[in-house]
Amino acid sequence: MCGRLIDQYLTFADLPDTDEPAALPPSPLGDTPLGFHDFSWVGGFSSTEAGARYYRRAKAILADVGHAHAEARSTVTTASGHVRVHSSPGLAQRFVTAALLAYQVSHPDVSVELSIDQNVPNLVEDGFDVSLMCAWQLTDSGYVASTLGTTHLVLVASPAYLARNGVPTVPADLASHVSLRFLSPVAPANEWHLESAGDSVVVPLDASPFQVNTPDALAQALRSGVGIGALAIYNAIDDLRSGALVRVLPQYRLRAFNVYAMHAPGRYPDAKVRKLIDYLRMTIPDGLAAIQRDLDDMTAAQAQTSSKPGAPTPMLRVV
């Protein structure tokens, strides 16, 4: 009741700087008493001791409300405070860590806590402001999701593995090779969806001697020469450049997926969250595009090499 009275009938800016009671408009409560005998509405507050005490308390409350409003307004317009960010491991390694550090240079009043986990968190229960994930399709979580870019995975293996076991030339050849699985809550682990300019095929992964849920560990296993696996291009590009890994079936790539920034729904997101997502929108797409250009250049170089008479079966690498 008091909250409604304060909201509707008192304006802090209009209160005089005095301890004397002020006249108010007629009560919306009619003749309903406010709960104490020595205070009543008679076209305004009566100048009783209870009325004066009520007025002083209401004025103090409005002062607190004014300060709270100013603080809330500041958080909506100025990036400051602590922000908790979740990221999947591959994104954190390639983009997110560097982006957060650069963001802090522009917003020094923001402190950042980065949590790296392959599993999608509950943003509200786990207390995260932003989650950065990759997925072909998001589940209906009720979160607000911003698409930061689109990318894909490629099949890779070590040159030593391919030298021992041969180089697949069509998707059906994969059945005779060792396939390593990447376990992710947002991607199927038991099949590869391969796409080319004029073909699409699903390769089942019935058995795998090695399964892992982080791209770093998968890349390490692939570099050791135990099989063929799928890595996001931003996780594979350094090994492709160095030659530690080479592409398998370079005319194919796995189905494209999106990179998302998610936050809990709210009418007025804090400036630190809004500006962080805006910054990621500017940086991550450029990073993805640069990596894609490098991959396209390597693929073109491989195609040129393979077109020469007597050329061996190519394995994509950059020296």
Residue with tokens 């994104």: 91
Q: What gap in Å lies between CA 82 and CA 246, rounded to an integer?
A: 42
Higher pLDDT pick, 4 / 251:
251
Residues in the chain: 319
How far is residue 182's CA from residue 306's CA, in Å, rounded to a whole number?
Answer: 30
Where are the domains positioned within the chain? 2-77, 81-149+259-291, 153-256
Please tell me what DSSP assigns to residue 218: H
Residue 78: band (very low, low, confident or very high) from pLDDT cuts 50, 70, 90: confident
**Three-state DSSP class for residue 275:** helix
Lowest-confidence pick of 19-23, 54-58, 230-234: 19-23
161-177 as b/e, with b when 16 or more CB fall inside 10 Å? bbeeeebbeebeebeeb
The CA-CA-CA angle for residues 210, 212, 214, to 5°, reads 150
Q: Which residue has the higher pLDDT, 308 or 94?
A: 94
List the beta strands (DSSP E) in 59-167.
Answer: 81-87, 110-116, 130-135, 144-151, 153-157
Q: Give per-residue pLDDT as tens, 182-208.
A: 987 666 778 999 999 888 999 998 888
Q: Which residues pair with 228 in a beta bridge?
A: 179
pLDDT of residue 139: 73
Q: Which residue, chain included where needed, has tokens 């060792």? A: 178
Specify whether the CB–CB gap between 200 and 123 falls below 8 A: no
Place of tokens 């050849």: 173
- Alpha-carbon span 79 to 13, nearest angstrom: 28
Spatial separation of the C-alpha atoms in residues 158 and 236, rounded to whole Å:
12
Residue 135 binned pLDDT confidence (cut-offs 50, 70, 90): confident
pTM: 0.70
CATH topology for the 153-256 domain: D-Maltodextrin-Binding Protein; domain 2 (3.40.190)
| CA-CA-CA-CA dihedral for 265, 118, 239, 199, to nearest 10 | -70
pLDDT-derived band at 84 (thresholds 50, 70, 90) equals: very high
Q: What local confidence, expressed as pLDDT, does residue 76 receive?
A: 58
Confidence of residue 211 (pLDDT cuts 50, 70, 90): very high
Question: Which amino acid, 61?
Answer: I
CATH superfamily of 81-149+259-291: Periplasmic binding protein-like II (3.40.190.10)
Matching fold, domains 81-149+259-291 and 153-256: yes
Note the pLDDT tens digit of each residue in 112-127. Answer: 999 999 888 899 899 9
Opening angle at CA 142, ends 110 and 185, nearest 5: 85
Q: What is the pLDDT of residues 151-161, one digit of tens each?
A: 999 999 999 99
